[in-house]
Amino acid sequence: MLRNAFLWLTLGSLIPISSFATVDSPVVQGLGGGGRAGVPREALFSNPAAVVAVGSTFGFVHYEIPQVPDFNARGRGWSVGIYDVGDQTWKGGFAYTRTSKARILNAQQSYVDRSSFRFATGHAITGSIIGGLRGRLERIHGAGDGTKYFDADLGILFPFFNDIRAGFTIENVADKDLEEPRTIGLGAAYSLGYGIQFLADGYRIMTGKKEGERGWSLSFELGLAGDFLARAGVFEEAFRALKGWSAGLSWMGPRASFDYALKVTGRGPRERAHILGMTLAL
């Protein structure tokens, strides 16, 4: 199965999507960038320890259309990957991402063209406490070979109360210059029942010029008519001090699912991103 997973991913990487803070997943994006308390299908884009809860092998494809209307700028992003449960004693995820889009920082427009090969794996540390690791080989495309570097994210999941689970993350461990700074994050998820779940996330920048700045998100997920899930959230990004909201919808079939999310920021500058996703059981 692992051999097939590597072959599937290698072929997928020929398709011409980045750190936890850069959302590539429609599910995480629909939650306002939350998920540090664990989203099993999204361990490659949220807390990596959540990969332990993946129940079956499946592949996924995402397509993103980011826009900055105030600057008449836009871009596109792709991701393709697989989660493999192996023989249930080892579980992991692999993905290739590629993003090409405009980026606005301090009212200045630049262009980002980068790719990432990432993996995630996790294991029980003790009892009900689970640890996870996500490694990322990042490449910033430019003149010549561009810039390449390796970074990583760490995550822990643990029960807090009977209906509340919690998560802790250290993101961008390598803390590379001119890249997203190292952050620590906390998340909690409360299952109310009746298919309703509330999530709260917060994080703090630990290094660089933005040291001490904080970001957060509040979101919920609601089951509808058995096969549908609706999501919505509000958030504030620490690195660029942008506030906004998001919404998403998923249809969950027996062997496939389809996801959509919209993420909007409401001030200086306004940004909007549509992202579509599909998963397929393998």
Token pair of 148, please? 């390449």
Helix and strand counts by DSSP (H, E) for the chain: 2, 15
What is the CB neighbour count within 10 angstroms for residue 260?
17
* Average model confidence (pLDDT) across the chain: 86
pLDDT of 36-92, one tens digit each? 999 988 999 999 999 999 999 999 999 999 888 877 778 889 999 999 987 677 899
What phi, psi does 144 have (nearest 5°)?
Answer: 65, -130
Kindly provide the b/e burial profile for residues 8-25, where b requires at least 16 CB atoms within 10 angstroms of the residue's own CB.
bbeebbeeebbbbbbbbb
pTM (2 d.p.):
0.85
Token pair of 69, please? 């209307």
pLDDT of 123-165, one tens digit each? 999 889 999 999 999 998 865 667 899 999 999 999 988 889 9
pLDDT of 164-173, one tens digit each? 999 999 999 9
Query: For residue 201, what are the contacts with CB-CB under 8 A and spacing of at least 6?
Result: 32, 33, 34, 35, 36, 37, 185, 186, 187, 188, 216, 217, 218
Q: What's the CA gap between 273 and 60, in Å, rounded?
A: 19
